[in-house]
């Protein structure tokens, strides 16, 4: 079952375009959306909320067509953006009044409980809150209207590590309910390495992969070794860097390398950051440094 289905999404924005994006966000799981700044993460999310009009393709959310049922769907989606989208001259307390009208299932008690837990002053005007506090306010709202789908666009960039851990814990608590789905875009990939179930990588407007996280870490490994091996093993290596001490690359064939070269290579786990680095590098070709 999918919470979001994107089919053949195209959008030309001049210098940048989304190219035939096909994507399924599985219901009941946390999906991490990764990619460098400018890779198209936010553009994709804006389309998922019908904030932008596409040139081609279809998006359905929670089994409904986004264009046809946008109003209802926005009620069922909890949104957290890194940038500030609130009216500046009112307090969270007054905001609560507006949200009661906007959301069908608004829970004021939950909202104020989160504000207190997050240490966000409910009385001071939004414009006097710090960037981090505004993100916390936005998270409190997203968690207070029985959203079935949470879309978080770079939520953790402005948060300190302690609160980031707390947020991950809150998200995992929500996931105990099998009907909740989370889409989490971030460039702080350590957050995702822990809790994400699926990882989608987007680069230059294209989906590079969409994989089960455990399978991803099993299939992509880091390999180091003697520089003599590089020519011979060329086809098994991605994004190879050669220096005076040897080479470093990524491989999708760790088993084959181990069988071929045994002790001459060292195969290690990769982080998501390293994965992004090698994939980008692989696209540019071998660097003989």
Partner 1 sequence: MDIKLSNRSDVPIYEQLKNEIIRLIMTGALRPGDPLLSMRKLAKELSISIITTKRAYQDLEAAGYVYSVVGKGTYVSEQNNENRREQLLIEVEKKLEELLSTAKKIDLSTEELVEMMKVMEEDQ
User: Cβ 172 to partner 1, closest distance in Å?
Assistant: 4
CB neighbours (10 Å) of residue 14? 5
User: Cβ 199 to partner 1, closest distance in Å?
Assistant: 10
Q: DSSP labels for 118-134?
A: TT--SSS-GGGS-HHHH
Q: Closer CB to partner 1, residue 106 or residue 198?
A: 198
Q: Closer CB to partner 1, residue 263 or residue 284?
A: 263
Q: Closer CB to partner 1, residue 195 or residue 286?
A: 195
Q: Closer CB to partner 1, residue 29 or residue 111?
A: 29
Q: Closer CB to partner 1, residue 114 or residue 198?
A: 198
CB-based contacts of 47-56 (< 8 A; 24+ apart in sequence): 47/6, 47/9, 47/11, 47/18, 48/4, 48/6, 48/151, 48/183, 49/74, 49/77, 49/79, 49/151, 52/11, 54/9, 54/10, 54/11, 54/18, 55/10, 55/11, 55/12, 56/8, 56/9, 56/10
User: Cβ 130 to partner 1, closest distance in Å?
Assistant: 27
User: Cβ 224 to partner 1, closest distance in Å?
Assistant: 15
User: Cβ 74 to partner 1, closest distance in Å?
Assistant: 26
Q: From CA 266, how far away is CA 257, in angstroms rounded?
A: 9
Q: Closer CB to partner 1, residue 90 or residue 170?
A: 170
Q: From CA 159, how far away is CA 72, in angstroms rounded?
A: 31
User: What is the contact surface with partner 1 in residues (CB under 8 A)?
Assistant: 28-30, 168-169, 172-173, 175-176, 178, 194-198, 212-214, 217-218, 269
Sheet holding 181-185, edge to edge: 77-81, 149-153, 181-185, 30-34, 198-203, 206-212
User: Cβ 249 to partner 1, closest distance in Å?
Assistant: 19
């Amino acid at each position: 079952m999918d919470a979001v289905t994107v089919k053949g999404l195209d959008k030309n924005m001049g210098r940048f375009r989304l190219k035939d994006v096909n994507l399924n966000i599985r219901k009941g799981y946390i999906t991490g959306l990764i990619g460098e700044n400018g890779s198209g993460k936010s553009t994709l999310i804006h389309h998922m909320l019908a904030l932008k009009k596409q040139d081609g393709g279809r998006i359905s959310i929670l089994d409904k067509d986004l264009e046809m049922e946008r109003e209802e769907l926005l009620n069922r989606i909890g949104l957290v953006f890194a940038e500030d989208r609130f009216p500046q001259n009112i307090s969270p307390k007054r905001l609560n009044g507006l949200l009661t009208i906007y959301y069908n299932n608004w829970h004021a008690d939950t909202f104020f409980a989160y504000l207190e837990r997050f240490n966000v002053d409910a009385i001071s005007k939004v414009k006097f809150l710090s960037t981090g506090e505004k993100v916390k306010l936005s998270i409190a709202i997203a968690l207070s209207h029985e959203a079935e789908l949470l879309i978080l666009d770079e939520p953790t960039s402005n948060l300190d590590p302690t609160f980031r851990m707390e947020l991950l814990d809150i998200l995992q608590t929500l996931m105990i309910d099998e009907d909740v789905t989370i889409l989490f875009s971030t460039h702080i990939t350590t957050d995702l390495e822990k809790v994400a179930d699926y990882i989608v990588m987007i680069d230059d407007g294209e989906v590079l992969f969409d994989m089960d996280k455990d399978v991803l870490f099993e299939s992509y490994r880091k390999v180091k070794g003697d520089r003599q091996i590089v020519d011979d093993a060329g086809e098994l290596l991605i994004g190879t860097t050669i220096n005076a001490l040897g080479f470093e690359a990524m491989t999708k064939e760790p088993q084959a390398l181990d069988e071929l070269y045994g002790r001459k290579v060292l195969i290690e786990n990769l982080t998501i950051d390293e994965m992004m680095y090698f994939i980008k590098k692989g696209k540019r070709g071998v660097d003989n440094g």
